[in-house]
Structure formats: C-alpha cells, structure tokens
Structure 1
Amino acid sequence: MPLTADEPGAPCWLSLAARDLDAAEAFYGAVLGWTFRRGPLGRGFSVGERDGMPVGGIGEDAAGMGLPVSWTVFFAVADADAAVARIRERGGTVGVGPVAFPPRGRAALATDLEGAAFGVWEGRISSRWRLGEHHAPAWLELHTRNAFDAALFYGGVLQWVDGDADRFEVAYEDEQVVLRTHGEAVARLNSGPVEAASDQPQRRPRWLVHFRVPDLERATAAVLDHGGAVIPEADDGWLHAGARCATVRDPQGGLFTLDGEAEG
C-alpha cells in the first residue's frame, strides 16, 4: 500500500524550485507524461499530475530567491516551530522559515547534518498524493555518508518511532536504512562516497527523487530530446530494487532518477 501523506513524519509533497515555469512544464510533460494545473499558491506555481493524481509541484522561485534548481521533499509535521527546534537541537540548519502560506499551512527549509536539503510542512495536504517504491509514481532515496547517523537525525526530527509503533518501520539492511509503511518502502537512506563540496551535484549529500516510468529508454530519450542530460555513470540503466534506473538532469539543473518497471 503506498504511503498517504496524512500523518506527522510522512513525506507529504515533492516540489521543484525552477527558474522558468513554462519551460519546466514542457520538459516534465514530455519526459514523465504529466499534465499541469496552476496550484493554490499563485500564478508562479503549478501541480504536475499523472492520470489525474498529483505527483509534485513546480514553483518559479529559484531565480528570485537565489535557490539552486532542485527537487525538495517535504515531510508532514504537527507543529513547524517544534520541528524546526528539533532540527537545530540535532545539528541541522534551518535556512528558511517557518513561512506562512495562508490558508494552507506553514513550511520551513532545512539541511541535515551532511547538508542534504529537505522541508517540513504543517498544514493541509492532498489526500490523493501517494509515495511508494512499487505502487506509486515516486519514492525517495537519501545519499549520505552514514545512513545510520542520518536515520537517527531524521527519526528524531520527524518522530518516526514515537507514539504509534505501527506508523513506520525503520530497518537497517545491507548498509541502507529503509523506511517502510504497511510493508511498502517509501525511502531508502544509503551510505556512500559523497562530497559536500563537490562541484557535481549528484555527488553531494542529497535527497534524490525517483519517478516511475513505463518505458525507461523512451523517457531517457525524451530527456535528451528536450534539453536535459543523463548522468554518465548511470547512462546504461543501472539496477535498483529490481528496477532499471537512470539518473538525469533537467535543462535548468534539477536532478532526479527515472525508474523503469521492476524486473521479474
């Protein structure tokens, strides 16, 4: 069962900070087959949908706010101020917020101990949004130096093991920490050789968003045809969790991974 975004601690939204909204819509529509509707946050924001279901938001705010073009995962919290305090207590850095987005809620942007960016959201969320490794349009992967330390950080900030023990399952498997709900993996935290100061974004600590596509070759070709790029070490389609994958970059610099259908 894919994760729904209706409880604290759960990933609840994906958002791309772009420089050009129209260009981003054209690219993601061609590559992922999304359609778009302008969202509730104004003319400079739209929601990408697949088969009528929301997948992620695109905001034309990277240039004005001096932000890098990137995908950010937001986690639901009951109290944004309390979550921000927990981030700081555990050594993370809060860059923005909490900022109010009336009437929907409040958000903050932060980085973890290694510099991977993420957000927290307090407020209204879409009941139709889904996340899951096998049964949803997207799932998440954290690239970090030490997955165990990262799990302690996020587990404390997002209270994954507090209260109802049935909400989330956090397991350490093969040097990965896997976050599951209802048996479905929604996020994997991976230890690896990352470099915070690298001039290559894919080598920095980061949350990487995986988007599922029915035909990996066709989607990868669409990336190239519409001005994007394939990350060299993944251009032959590597395997992850039984699915063939390719990590790519959109024309404005946003990094993400395409997942083909799982084998077998």
Structure 2
Amino acid sequence: MARDLDATQDFYGSVLGWTYRGSSAGADVSVALADGRPVAGINALAPSMGVPVAWTAYFSAPNADIVAARIRERGATVGVGPLAFGAGRAALASDPAGAVFGFWEGPVQAGWRVGAANAPAALELHTRDAFAAAVFYGELFDWASGLPDTCTVSYEHETVLVLAEGRTVASLMGGGIEAAPDPQVRPRWHVFFWVSDVDAAARAAVRGGGTVVSGPQDARAGRAASLRDPDGALFAVTSGQA
C-alpha cells in the first residue's frame, strides 16, 4: 500500500531494479517485475482505505469467507474485506498479537512461491509467541493438516518453519519484544526481496529518500539489510540465492 504510485515505483525501481506493468485491478495498482517476472504489487490506495503505507504478506486461500470467519472466531480482527479485487477477492487482517497480514482468494501464478526467483525471497514473522502464532495461522490456512496443496510445519533453532513442497516459505520467530516500544520490533511480518548487491541497494535507498534500519550485515541465508522507503514502509533485502 502506497500513497503515490509514481514516486513509489521510482524508489523501488532504483533500489531493487524493478520495472512495472499495469494491473487488471485498476489504474491505482501496478505489478512490479523482476527480470520481467511478477514479484510484488503496489497499490496507491492507502489514504482512501485508511491504512498505513506498508508492505503486506498475502496468503492464498480457497475461500476468503471461511478464513475471515476463522479469524473472528479466534479473537483476531478482519480490518478490510473480503472485497472483490481484480480477478479475485482480498482482505486485510491482524493476528492476536497485532501483526497485519492479508489473504487472497483467486488465481495464483503457476510456480509462484516465496523463495523462488520470481517472488519475495522470504517472509518472517517477528512476534511474542511463535508457537501460538503457528497454531493461529495453521488453523486459518490448514497448515500441517495433511490436506492437498497445504503447507507443512517444522521447528528449528527456536523458529517455526512453514514449508511448501520442501521449501521454506515463512519463518515465525518470537521472544524478547513483548514490552518493546520501538515500532521497528513490534509484532509484524517482514518481507525480504532479492538483490544482487545488498550494500548497493542500501545506498540507493538512502539516495532515494529512504533510510537504513539495520545492516547491511551477513546473515545465515546471505547478506541482508532492513530498509524503509520514503513513506516509512519497512522492507528487507537479501543476496541469498533462490
């Protein structure tokens, strides 16, 4: 969600090398392309929808109404939708700890999974209780249910890993942030994007009016940095290999 589509496209084009095409969802929406392949969406409707400028992770679901009902049954919040959007239906929600996420009922590009070359590099949930979060999201999206085309869940180094076809598509980690006043460490989903040079991306972000939150530094999966765009949206970049 962005305020100004043109300015946002310019920033991410300079930092991540993205190009863009239009979307069937309307003139205020564009599809970001990495090497000609869709990688993310930018929607310039943040002010009209009353939501902050932010990157949001969306999870595919066969029935958005069922997911919305499950969210409410578990004491969490559906903030927007489900609403018709492009070729499907979308909604925004927050989990019991306050982390915002989206869900989508509709077509998904074949082979488009987190960690693939034409998708975000990683999703990480930083929250108070990773196990409680895993139960919540698992019940929403049938993770670890054994149903066809659903994710499995494992535990490694105090992190809950969500896997699809053997590949990690999300990591849920907790601890140490319950009382933290810093908005950078409140419960939230972090979206990582691929870049060939993390340090160069960080410098480009600063030149474009953004800020470096942390890093660049070497991490387990490659060099990484957390950045904010000029409107304050938090995102991360990594050079880990797809």
Q: Report the TM-score, using the length of structure 2 for normalisation.
A: 0.93
C-alpha distance in structure 2 between counterparts of 1:30 and 1:62, whole Å: 22
Name which of 152, 167, 182 aligns with 1:169: 152
TM-aligned CA deviation for residue 195 of structure 1? 4.7
- CA change 1:253–1:196 in 2 (3 A) is farther
Q: Which amino acid aligns with 1:258?
A: V
Deviation at 1:86, TM superposition (A): 0.7
The 1:175/1:135 distance shift into structure 2, 3 A limit, reads farther
Please report how far the alpha carbon of residue 123 of structure 1 lies from its aligned counterpart in structure 2 after TM superposition. 1.5
Aligned-pair distance for 1:63?
Answer: 1.5
Listed as ranges, the gaps of 5+ residues in structure 2 are: none
Aligned match of 1:256: 235
Matched-pair contact (CA < 8 Å) for 1:195–1:203: no
Matched to 1:259, the amino acid is T
| Amino acid corresponding to residue 209 of structure 1 in structure 2 | V
Q: Number of residues paired by the alignment?
A: 241
**CA pair 76-124 structure 1, distance change in 2 beyond 3 A:** same
State how far apart, in whole Å, the 2-side matches of 1:183 and 1:23 are. Answer: 38
2:72 to 81, 88, 94: 88
Residue 34 (structure 2) pairs with residue 44 (structure 1): no
Q: Percent identity?
A: 50
Structure 2 CA distance for partners of 1:155 and 1:209, relative to 1, 3 Å: same
| 1:206-257 residue CA offsets vs partner (Å, 9 max, x unmatched) | 00001111111111110111110001xx23x234333111100000111011
Residue equivalent to 1:222: 204
1:79 Cα offset (Å): 1.1
Q: What is residue 3 of structure 1 aligned with on the other side?
A: none
**Displacement after TM superposition at 1:167 (Å):** 3.9
Per chain length, whose mean CA-contact separation is higher, i.e. which structure has more relative contact order (CA < 8 Å, sep 6+)?
Answer: 1
Matched-pair contact (CA < 8 Å) for 2:76–2:94: yes
Q: How many angstroms apart in 1 are the aligned matches of 2:119 and 2:65? A: 30
What do you get for the CA RMSD once the two structures are aligned? Answer: 2.0
How far, CA to CA, are the matches of 1:197 and 1:105 in structure 2?
Answer: 37
Q: How far apart, CA to CA, are the structure 2 residues paired with 1:34 and 1:134?
A: 13
Residue 5 of structure 1 aligns with which residue?
A: none
Residue of structure 1 aligned with 2:15, choices 26, 31, 39: 31
Once residues 29 and 142 of structure 1 are traced to their aligned partners in structure 2, the CA distance between those partners, rounded to angstroms, is 26
Contact preservation (8 Å) 1:88, 1:94: yes
Counterpart residue type for residue 240 of structure 2 = E
Which stretches in structure 1 are left out of the alignment for 5+ residues? 1-16
Q: Take 1:238 and 1:134, find their aligned partners in 2: how far apart are those partners? A: 22
- Return the match for 2:192 from 210, 221, 235: 210
Tell me how far 1:163 sits from its aligned partner: 4.0
Q: Which residue of structure 2 lines up, in the alignment, with residue 155 of structure 1? A: 138
**What is the letter of the counterpart of residue 21 of structure 1?**
L
TM superposition score normalised by structure 1: 0.85
The aligned runs of 1:8-87 (5 Å cut-off) are 17-87=1-71
Cα shift readout 1:69-109 (whole Å, capped 9, x = no counterpart): 1011111111111111111112211111111225x111111
Residue 108 of structure 2 is aligned to residue 125 of structure 1: yes
CA contact (8 A) 2:40 2:120 kept: no
Deviation at 1:122, TM superposition (A): 1.0
